[in-house]
Chain A
Amino acid sequence: MNIAPKQAGRAGVESKQSVAVCPICQGTNFSPAPNGRMSRRGLAPRCMSCKSLERDRAGRSLMEALRDRELFKTFKLLQFGNDRIVAKGWFRESETSVFGSIGAHNPMAIDRPNESFDCVVSSHVITKVEDHRAAVREIARLLSRRGLAFLSYPLPGLRTVTSDWGFPDPKQSGNFRILGEDFEPALVELASGTRIAAVKAIDPVTKDADLVYLMTKDFSWMRKLISLRLDARFLDAA
């Protein structure tokens, strides 16, 4: 097969995106995502340097905006997975639990005391566990009174009703389900005691938006969202 078009396409993509900068590694070269996937706007989404995708960069940009440098230095982080939504160096200490790897926490029942983490990051995890409700409850339980949790899952808001097939379908990237809009009220219920905001985070490279749920027991984080004028919607969890 002639590969000439492929080369031409790549060159074109790179030159067009030369001004875009990855907020994680400052990389400026981007390629199509696995399987040749392009962003919703048709741009090459994968940072060729740090391999980040739209959701990683959107999340990172949001957390960068919210980050209080001094305060974060006193925080303890629990991160599910190796994504780069936050940098470990921001925190006093951190624990990383890559779902499915040896020694990883079970997201549905984490062997840690209540309110033992100040920052919890769960990106694209709860759809991969058997009981996503338990996973949300655990995040809310582990979150300290001053902390902030970052929760995201694939394609939020794209469908109204959750579709749960009950097994990790390899054709669906190992997900048990795709969560629909109907999960939002459930989220409020499961994370009782926290305030939740659905925030539209923007990937500065592709400009694609990703919906992220921020959970907190400290209302000052919500105030910060307001003052930053982020596109946020409050899910009543009081």
Chain B
Amino acid sequence: MLQKLSASISRWALSAYFYLIVFYLIFPVLIIFPISLSNNTFLRFPPSNFGIRWYQTFVNDPAWMEATILSFSVAISVSILATVIGTMAVLALERRKLRFSNLLSYFMSSPLLIPHIFIALGVLIFTISLGVENSIFALIGAHTAIAIPYVVLIVGASHRQLDLTLERAARVLGAGPIRAFFAAAFPSLLPSVVAAAVFAFFVSFDELVIAQFLMNGRETLPMRIWADLRLELRPTIAAVSSLLIILTTVAMLLAELLRRRTASLTST
């Protein structure tokens, strides 16, 4: 009796603890929404009157808009490049008996473990010594390099679940290797490839330090936010943040569901 009571108390305490931690993780993010809807000139809580004034400021300010467009174009290029190059690497790593294939996998995931500030400084010094500093291609390249490990991990995990019989059958029936791959294997790989593309997009879209070091003059969205945060806390940032929170949650949730769907489809 006593034991049962203490077991149910500890179960109750554990779930109370869980929700406390969830509150700690999510509350600061949620609080941004009401602030973004205030019409006050300065940041204050609770807001005294509500409106969409700061959203209008964001949309009508050319500096914010240019930064948004630049970030989108860099992130879309990175997403495409990283997904294609990463998927190709997965196919090579998983299908060919490469020498040093373990070593190559480690090398592929190394950018995950190196601080971005280290990569930022390295690429900066490298571009200076090559005389090609302040180029948007260096930024896209560096972002692609740090996005590749995510693609390799996500697509690699899904490829290991793949049943290769169908593709072999297609080969036996006379399809070339490329056609057999796209007809038989690629459709089941596709959800994880899309998920990887979304992850890669946000790796670039959220990245500050590398952009800060490499770009001189043109600002990405994180650079714009960073510059504003260092000077003063205007509610424009709350409006921008709210939009980004919604965008990130929706896109990443879709990606995660796609990733899980492939995992469960192939495992049953």
The judgment on whether A and B are partners is no
Q: Footprint of A on B, CB under 8 Å?
A: none
